[in-house]
Amino acid sequence: MKKIHIVGMIMIAIAIVMISTAADDLSTYADFQTARQSNSLVKIAGVLSKDKEMQYDPAIDPNYFSFFVKDSKGEEQKVVLYGSKPQDFELSEQIVITGKMKDGDFIASDMLLKCPSKYKDEEIYIKAAES
C-alpha cells in the first residue's frame, strides 16, 4: 500500500467523523412549539404580524426591539432582539430568526429579512450578536 493511500484513508475517516458531527449543526426550520420544548438554538422562518405591536424606543433602550412573528403553523409569538430595529423592517415579507425561548419570549440572536424591493432581491442581514 502506498503512503498516499494511507493518507487518503485517514482523510476519508476524518471526513466521515466530520460529516457525522456536522449533522448536529443542521436542523429543519422549527416552529415556536418546538422552540419551547428545545433548549438549544433553533431557526424559525415566519412572517411579521403587522397588526401586533412593535416596540423600539431608543430613548428608553436602544438595544431592545420586540415584535411578533407568525410561524409556519400560524402561531404568533413575541420575539425580542437585543439590538436596534432594522431599516424597512415593516416591509419585510419573510423573517428568518435564530434563537431560543427564554421566559416566554423568543430571544433572537440572528435575523434575516427578505424585503420586496424595486431592486434586485436585496436582503438585509442583521447580526444581533457577535458570533
Partner 1 sequence: MESIQYIGEHLLPGKLGHIFILLSFVSSLLAVAAYYFATKHIGTTSYASWRRIGRVGYSLHGISVFAIIGTMFYIMLQQYYEYHYVWEHVSEDLDFKYIFSAFWEGQEGSFLLWMFWHVILGGILMFSAKNWEAPVMAILALIQVFIGSMILGLYFDFGLSEFRLGSNPFMLLRDLKEAPIFAQADYLEKIKGTGLNPLLQNYWMTIHPPTLFLGFASTSIPFCYAIAGLWTKQHRAWLKPVLPWALFSGAILGTGILMGGAWAYEALSFGGYWAWDPVENMSLVPWIILLAGIHTNLIANSTGYSIKSSYIFYLLTFLMIVYSTFLTRSGVLGETSVHAFTEMGLEVQLISFIVFFLLLSVVLFFWQMRNIPTPKTEESAASREFWMFIGALVLLFSAVLITGSTSLPVYNKIAALFDPGFEGKTITDPITHYNKYQMWIAVFIALLSGVAQFLRYSAVNWKQQAPKVMKRLGILAAITVGLTFLTNYWLDIYAWQYLVLLFFCLFSVVANLDYLINFTRLNLKVAGSSLAHLGFGLMVVGSIASGLNKRHISSNPFATRGLLEEELIKKNVVLFKGVPLKMSGYDVTYVKDEFQGNNRLYEINYKKKSPAGEVIEEFNLFPTALYNNVVTKVAAYNPDTKHSLTEDLFTHIASIPKVEADAEFAKSFEDSLNYINYPISGEEPIYILDTILALDTMVIRKFSAELVSTTKHPESEEYEAQEGDLAIGAKIIIKNVEDLKDQWTVDPIFLVRKGQAFQFPGQINEASLRVNLSPASFPYFFTPEEQLDYELISFKLGDKLRFKDYEIEFSGVNKTPDHPDYIAQPKDIAVSANLLVRDTRSGETKTAAPVYLIRGKNQGSFKDVLDDWRLHFNFESIDPESGSIKIRVAKNEQARPKLVLSIAKKSFRTDYVVLEAIIFPGINFFWLGAILMMVGLGMSIVHRRNLAH
Residue numbers of the site for partner 1 (CB under 8 A)? 2-4, 7-8, 11, 15, 18-19, 22, 25-29, 41-43, 45, 56, 58-59, 62-63, 82-85, 87, 94, 96, 98-99, 107-110, 112, 114, 118-125, 127-131
**Planar angle of CA 100, 101, 106, nearest 5 degrees:** 85
Q: Given the complex with partner 1, which of 49 and 109 has the nearer CB atom? A: 109
Q: Given the complex with partner 1, which of 68 and 85 has the nearer CB atom? A: 85
Q: How far is the CB of 51 from partner 1 (least distance, A)?
A: 18
DSSP letters along 74-111, please?
A: S-EEEEEESSPPPTTGGG-SEEEEEEEEETTEEEEEEE
Q: How far apart are CA 11 and CA 116, in angstroms?
A: 45
Q: Given the complex with partner 1, which of 18 and 52 has the nearer CB atom? A: 18
Q: How far is the CB of 74 from partner 1 (least distance, A)?
A: 16
Q: Given the complex with partner 1, which of 104 and 120 has the nearer CB atom? A: 120
Q: How far apart are CA 23 and CA 120, in angstroms?
A: 33
126 grid coordinates: 442583521
37 grid coordinates: 420544548
Q: How far is the CB of 122 from partner 1 (least distance, A)?
A: 7
